[in-house]
Copies of this chain bind each other. A is one copy, B any other.
Amino acid sequence: MASKAVSVADLVERAQAGEARAVARLISLVEDQAPELREVSAALSPHTGRAHIVGLTGAPGVGKSTSTSALVKALRAQGRRVGVLAVDPTSPFSGGALLGDRIRMQDHATDEGVYIRSMASRGHLGGLSVAAPQALRVLDAAGCDVVLVETVGVGQSEVEISGLADTTLVLLAPGMGDGIQAAKAGILEIGDIFVVNKADREGAASTRRELRSVVAMSDRGGDAWTPPVLLTVATTGEGVDEVAEQIALHHAHLADSGELGRRRLARTRREIEALALNAVRQKLGDLSGDARLDTLAADVLSGTTDPYAAADTLIENL
């Protein structure tokens, strides 16, 4: 035990000093829910809370990987340390789908001011709701000024990503951004900044116009933040500096208005709840192979009990 304690403290110290391998090792420990997990979490805690967490989401094909890469470049040009967490919550079966796209990120592979990590939902007990926040804590403690969380955007995962981030950036492409579609997808509620990428394509201006009018309709009034709608061509970097600027402006707005503290408090509450729920789920999972659960299920099937009564019995067994 004593040698492990030294090793975790050592890893955290090395991660803070900017050693990429220590950062990678720490993320693996939290991701795999290693036995050292709690020790890692405790050691990281005093060093977190500095990074600005920026979520990037959008439908497949809008250019999320390219945009992430371009944003990393823009932020690095400002001298900021950048972390990237690329998550794929839609891929229960194949964990490798994102890796092809990630090759593009090798632009930054030799840059010591950038940490990049991919994460698929497969194999994560409790899903990304448990693993992703812990990985973000590592990147935060490692001294990243900004951490970009990139996710494929479908339904609930978008909501999830907005729950992880201080600032949520929603990417669209021309023709994909008509107002009603956007409203349906639920992205209007979560976007702090909208970016119409591939702005060199036909329809970019009208997509921007439609989005702006829909955003205006949901204007919260007063000193509230009005989400800007920006145009970029991520492949050439056009417009990306303005995105970086708006990210900084939104951070300042959050800090000045007290909203940053409120969002982080709400996020931390959810994180604690998710961990508690996960702990209970694991205890229930330990009962999955249990003969008692089989007996309960058989009793429900035969009609001698009902699922709610069986669930009560299961909880009593915990």
* Chain A residues with a Cβ under 8 A of chain B: 37-38, 41-42, 44-49, 89-94, 97, 121, 133-134, 137, 154-156, 159, 183-184, 186, 189, 261, 264-265, 268-269, 271-273, 275-281, 284-285, 287-288, 293-294, 296-298, 300-301, 303-312, 314-315
- Report which of B97, B134, B183, B297 forms a contact with A184, defined as CB distance below 8 A: B97
Beyond A272-B311, A273-B314, A277-B280, 5 extra complex contacts between A and B, CB < 8 Å: A41-B306, A41-B309, A44-B306, A90-B155, A133-B307
Contact across chains for B297 and A94 when beta carbons are under 8 A apart: no
Interface centre among A272, A294, A315 (most CB of B within 10 A): A272
A314 to B306, CA, bound (A): 29
A271 to B264, CA, bound (A): 34
A265: chain B residues at CB < 8 Å are 294, 297-298, 301
Contact across chains for B294 and A284 when beta carbons are under 8 A apart: no
- Report which of B48, B272, B309 forms a contact with A293, defined as CB distance below 8 A: B272
Contact across chains for A45 and B154 when beta carbons are under 8 A apart: no
Q: A41-B308, A42-B306 are known contacts. Are A314 and B186 too (CB-CB below 8 A)?
A: no
Q: Provide 23 A-B residue pairs closer than 8 Å at the C-beta atoms, listed in order of the A residue.
A: A38-B309, A41-B308, A42-B308, A45-B304, A45-B307, A46-B303, A49-B301, A91-B184, A92-B159, A92-B186, A94-B183, A134-B307, A261-B301, A265-B294, A265-B297, A265-B298, A269-B293, A272-B310, A273-B285, A276-B284, A276-B311, A277-B277, A280-B315
Query: Copy number of this protein in the oligomer?
Result: 2
Q: A154-B90, A156-B90, A301-B49 are known contacts. Are A308 and B277 too (CB-CB below 8 A)?
A: no
A271: chain B residues at CB < 8 Å are 300, 307
Q: A89-B155, A303-B49, A311-B279 are known contacts. Are A186 and B264 too (CB-CB below 8 A)?
A: no
A49 nearest CB neighbor, chain B only: B301
In the assembled complex, the CB of A141 is this many whole angstroms from the nearest CB of chain B, namely: 10
A146 to B217, CA, bound (A): 45
A308: chain B residues at CB < 8 Å are 37-38, 41-42, 275
Q: A280-B280, A303-B48, A309-B42 are known contacts. Are A94 and B184 too (CB-CB below 8 A)?
A: yes
- Report which of B46, B155, B261, B272 forms a contact with A92, defined as CB distance below 8 A: B155
Contact across chains for A303 and B155 when beta carbons are under 8 A apart: no
Contact across chains for A297 and B276 when beta carbons are under 8 A apart: no
Contact across chains for A311 and B92 when beta carbons are under 8 A apart: no
A42 to B302, CA, bound (A): 12
Contact across chains for A93 and B189 when beta carbons are under 8 A apart: yes
In the assembled complex, the CB of A136 is this many whole angstroms from the nearest CB of chain B, namely: 11
Q: Which 3 A-B pairs have the closest CB atoms?
A: A90-B155, A275-B311, A45-B306
Contact across chains for B311 and A297 when beta carbons are under 8 A apart: no
Interface centre among A38, A271, A280 (most CB of B within 10 A): A280
